[in-house]
């Protein structure tokens, strides 16, 4: 009887549809495209709380490969550095260009080996829409310079208006997107995805120690083509 039960369970597992099998988040295309970036922080920027500082005068943020040589991150992570280190790579990558959308979002164009996985298919400026209030969202963040990126989930709460005088980092937008999503220093630049896997925004900052604040994506189609083909 015991052998019969084991055989039955084995057969049931064999015919179980793949859709019913649990998915490992880090195996998703979004997870594989996520990368930690580290960079030298200029001496006059050591006290700058816009980036997460790690030992030896270095800063760290989160990013995602959007092209074979392009990393999407938060603009406020850019302190004018010439080189950055990706994940645990031994050598540095030279920054060859920068693409900005004016809403605290930046794409670093870098040299080095190609990124094998990108999230290019998850963002199209022509079809970009915000999620509905209450919709589930997720990200892979390198908060506290942790690697590999950690998977976290939350919910889109909607938007609110902010006063320009408060200084919204590198964004001129007065519409702040709010997400019930716990983040920590170093998560800046993490790509936030909706329940359909499409890009919603990037982490800009924490709000009240509980929520995440971000801005609408505003890259043009031409900018995205440049990043994806660089």
Give the DSSP H or E segment for 151. strand 150-161
* Candidate from 54-58, 117-121, 180-184 with smallest mean pLDDT: 54-58
pTM value is 0.85
Residue 174 pLDDT class (50, 70, 90 cuts): confident
Strand partners, 74: 105
- If asked whether residues 102 and 133 sit together in one domain, one would say no
pLDDT beyond 90 at 141: yes
DSSP 196: T
- If asked whether residues 139 and 179 sit together in one domain, one would say yes
- Separation between Cα atoms, residue 27 and residue 187, nearest integer Å: 20
Contact 182, 210 (CB under 8 A): yes
- If asked whether residues 147 and 207 sit together in one domain, one would say yes
Domain range for 111 is 26-118+222-229
- For 220, the 3-state DSSP assignment is coil
- If asked whether residues 89 and 145 sit together in one domain, one would say no
In terms of phi and psi (left: phi > 0; alpha: psi -120 to 50; beta: otherwise), the region of 169 is left
- Separation between Cα atoms, residue 194 and residue 181, nearest integer Å: 12
Per-residue pLDDT tens for 27-77? Answer: 889 999 999 999 988 776 666 667 787 887 888 999 999 999 999 999 999
In the Cβ-directed half-sphere of 143, how many Cα atoms lie within 13 Å?
Answer: 18
**CATH code of the domain containing 158:** 2.40.10.10
pLDDT: which is higher, 20 or 166: 166
Which token pair is 211? 């929520």
- If asked whether residues 133 and 186 sit together in one domain, one would say yes
Residue 16 pLDDT class (50, 70, 90 cuts): very low
How far is Cα of residue 39 from the mean position of the Cα atoms in its chain? 17
- If asked whether residues 45 and 98 sit together in one domain, one would say yes
pLDDT beyond 50 at 11: no
- If asked whether residues 132 and 101 sit together in one domain, one would say no
In the chain, the number of structural domains is 2
Whether residue 12 lies inside any domain: the answer is: no
Whether residue 39 lies inside any domain: the answer is: yes
Residue 212 pLDDT class (50, 70, 90 cuts): very high
Residue 203 pLDDT class (50, 70, 90 cuts): very high
pLDDT beyond 80 at 170: no
With tokens 């302190």, the residue in question is 79
- If asked whether residues 55 and 139 sit together in one domain, one would say no
With tokens 């964004």, the residue in question is 171
- If asked whether residues 33 and 60 sit together in one domain, one would say yes
pLDDT for 118 equals 96
């Amino acid at each position: 009887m015991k052998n019969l039960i084991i055989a039955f369970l084995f057969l049931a597992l064999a015919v179980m549809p793949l859709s019913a099998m649990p998915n490992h988040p880090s195996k998703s295309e979004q997870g594989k495209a996520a990368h930690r970036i580290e960079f030298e922080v200029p001496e006059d920027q050591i006290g700058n709380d816009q980036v997460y500082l790690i030992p030896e005068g270095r800063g760290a943020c989160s990013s995602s490969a959007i092209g074979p040589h392009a990393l999407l991150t938060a603009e406020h992570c850019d302190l004018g550095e010439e080189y950055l280190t990706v994940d645990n790579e031994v050598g540095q990558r030279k920054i060859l260009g920068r693409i900005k959308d004016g809403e605290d979002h930046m794409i670093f164009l870098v040299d080095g080996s190609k990124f094998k996985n990108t999230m290019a298919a998850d963002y199209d400026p022509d079809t970009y829409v915000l999620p509905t209030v209450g919709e589930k969202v997720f990200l892979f963040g390198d908060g506290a310079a942790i690697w590999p990126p950690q998977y976290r989930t939350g919910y889109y709460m909607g938007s609110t208006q902010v006063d320009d005088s408060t200084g919204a980092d590198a964004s001129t937008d007065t519409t702040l997107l709010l997400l019930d999503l716990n983040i920590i220093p170093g998560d800046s630049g993490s790509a936030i995805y909706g329940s359909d896997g499409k890009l919603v925004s990037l982490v800009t900052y924490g709000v009240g120690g509980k929520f995440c604040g971000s801005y609408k994506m505003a890259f043009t189609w031409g900018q995205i083509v440049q990043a994806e083909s660089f």
